[in-house]
Structure 1
């Protein structure tokens, strides 16, 4: 019976998950698994183990990560990503499991009668297709799938929705993994300790196999700020090797050392692993005789005339304690009191903590709200052992002069919700949400309801609303045969001269019929070029199926000599049915900023102590003017270098307009600067470099001038005289030394 109940539960899980919202679960394993064994399902490892009290646990690994750890009681459901485990009964150390898997979408089919499709290991043959259902064979077995429903065949799921067949497939298998060759035992899994204490929990590790094993030891989870270590012989270890069963050293006792911070309190959990075995310790941390008060709900919204209850959890970490309760403040004509186990109380005894941990009790503060309560927020203050707390109740509705509430559901002819439909009633206008619903609050009376949406016929309906009435109406919109919209990514693009500008527009066919659309651009300057692309292919027209949309890219290429500025273009999309849409597009063309500097004489000669002049020409090689060019000079130390003029206000481009034709112009005299160089008199003869850099608002350039420095004739004579005197002195010294 237990197995039957579990199977029914599993089938219900699959049957009541509409595939339009989420894929159904497909059963991939059913059977009993022995404690200590594991099942490998895809990337997951499902391990069956038990705690020290021999209670079965299920651990789900994904690689080295632990995705789930839960006691395996009858009816337990564990869900991890695409994996679901349903637990049955435990008999003879074997646990009954049902394992389900969420399949993945592998193919989308537009079914046609007589067509055959191979999906994985399955052959699907389409027999007949209608708007309401499709009939088919799977591996020669007949099936009928109504619209917006699905079937499961082995590991294949087929869904029929919106005229298409969606195929989902389970691609994993289940393998059994043998029991581990070691055991891990620890004496208890929960303790009570004081904040600031250090506790040690012994852990016995036994090698039950015939070969040596090496096990990693690690702390999997600990509270923030806690210090937890695994030690053997007072040494912290992260790996342990055990000899084979029967030999000395086949078992060892480690200890889990836990240092509890002084400010901690409440229930804390430590998780650790020995190899693939996972352990868990619950620690109830106590503060000195402290009562903990938890208020899970602080504020409630309610109608007048209702009775509301606020739960309060009291936890005692110390000895037995008398709890005194008192309502300190409440609104006029309200009634407020405490309830415990179905009776009104003002005080009670809360038992103290035991070896199993702290004790808790849940009480309720009940507030009875009069029907004439005012709208707005109301507070109730109360005290627990002289500590004051408060709750608030917001009254959002009274029963006098209540307005009516109209709920409108808008659907299309196929029963699908229509979102963003415009609903106008009286002086109110709202739009439907993603579920095709909208709510309007109105005074009582007679109204005309107008519903409209792009691509649909308008609908008008008359209704009558009474005081406080909540009325639901459903309106069906009929789709127009031909209708479309065009949306672009903004209304402006920026293009650099000589580059390509791109703009994406989306054409959405909202009509009932397929349609084709021609594309064109108006206002494009001469010598400019443009092209529409769909999936990297140039197009002049494009076909869009009913209810679908397509993105088209417009590429605009201005010529290299195009004048920078702003250009207004119009994109025209015209359907074959005669409808036309236009998009205004502003193209901002930015020029290319670049100029060059070069000396008219790359080398000049200057005598030391004299001045020389050099000329440097500037040429704008870009497509736009460069403004405010200033000059910087780098020369040898002590040299005087002047630049005239020091600033060029504007350097025009070579590309100019002449009789409506763009031609290469000639630089003006203003594009020439004069460099005056004065060389110090003491400068030795040689070759020197001067660097001139022009920096404009948009760009900069630099060039170099080589200066060859020569000496005057007077300096040459002095040099010769010094050489003669030097040689004479050397000869005189040689003769004198020779006599000695």
Structure 2
């Protein structure tokens, strides 16, 4: 028998398979050894009283929200989950009638036990009194707070009192007896269990009673009432006052035995602030004083076996809301708006809602605003919190004398802050004039700038007039728009400027002063003022001059030119001056005072004013010299001063170039084409326009069509076609060709075109052939060795 040697390929395959098995098999064993098996989670769910909660659902989620599993508690509140992997999970504990609890737990132990979970009741009863001492025949009120925090928007709650038959008990909400009520989600409200102790109750008797509130579940609160062995009663009396010694009615006074804190009796203060309590003796009692809107306080009294009447110390209750201000008195004028600052503070331990009102004299108006001016009617103050407010009061125009105004903050109780306003008529001027006396020629118009101010904080109407006007003279009052006025209405504290124009006659006597008056009368008010003004007529020479510091200027066509001018009033009379320029046709011209364009000027006597005349020739203006006059005229049109200005217009040249492309391509020995457009961006015609092309190296050539253009007018363009030819032996790469426009007057900027030259395609054919030969040789070598 002839044995053949194993094929080489089979040997290689077997070797690789053995190596793979040697590596993978141990890894599989290790992976199996270190994998963590799943585990169970167990625990218990109880209520607030420590009782196990049965049928509660425990839902388990991954932290990304994916559901894993769930479990249900047994009758004792215990639960065990299905097996889960180690890791961190979010547990939801849910039971109807209880608040849902959500907690994250990290599961890292086998049979992992969770901490005991306590589910709070959705419905709860709370009270500060669970045991009290009472006496035969006494009526007892036990205060409680009912709170619902469940998931339902509304919940029906029934009440049941479990008490001995001899106790007459009922549940009150406000003044109404209730057995069932509806409570909203998140709501809390107060109730009282009211009961009467029998007159026949014996000393030492202890009564146990329970109040049940039944909703989705039932909750309860237990109370203990004790009738002590007594040796008699004593009368406890006292007075309750506020911080201003005013008696407070309606204060609840509760007596608690100091030995066990048991409630004994309650009383309410009368209108004079007094109270009276009949308490068993001997004993020591803590008297608790409380009323809505006031800070509660306590006082201790002791009754001996011999006591018959004990007077408690006078008790002071402080209001929870305080009003304070640094200003309590202010002087004002009729029509003013007062802004009286104050701060409201909550000195209590609970959030207090405060509503605002005010007490002002009849005919006055007021409102409470915050620091931003927003009207406020109510706000909520956190414990020990405060907020700054303002009382805005509008004083009537007819007010005069002293008045009290008060701001009132009402929470559980009302507190007031009183201000005193002393009102007296205003002594402010309503008319003003900086230059009330002027001189002029006979027949001229004299203008006075008069300020009118409304000193009141309310809109006011004023009657206006000019009095004591000489015969045949005219006088008018105008506004800034030149409208004639006899009455004007101003907003609160508004001030405007009026122009009073007085025109004398040419026949009026000169070298004399004439006295006139401007009167403003507040309509329907006892406020009037007459401001005197005077006009002195003199013989005045023409004292207006005009100086041009640069009377002759050269400018390019289309550009503007500025002429600085100085106008002087060498006299002592203020003048209105008209500005005039007789510019060439189609030219633009305007006067500027600083950055403001003006057409006339009010120049005080003895003053000068610097102006600028801006002149803009049209783009098509001829190259020439132009002369034009600038004049200063009176209001009647008389030329008072003149200056002649000259503008020489010279050429404005500018040539722009733009390309159809900034990148062109060509093979070695071939041509790249593009176009260039030349534009006359100046205002003067350019002549003999052509292109100047700079090539990157010798051997390159260029052809331009057309070769040149005779002329380009302003804003005209011409396009040149450019062909750049590369040499046959050009190396592949990027080359820059510079393009520039030229004319007889000027040249453009230089712009460049990038020409990318590629190698001839014959080299590609040679490369493919060589690659084919190489592949053929490689296949032959491989085949030869394979056969071996």
Q: Same fold, TM exceeding 0.5? A: no
In the superposition, the TM-score normalised over structure 1's length comes to: 0.29
Greater Rg by CA: 2
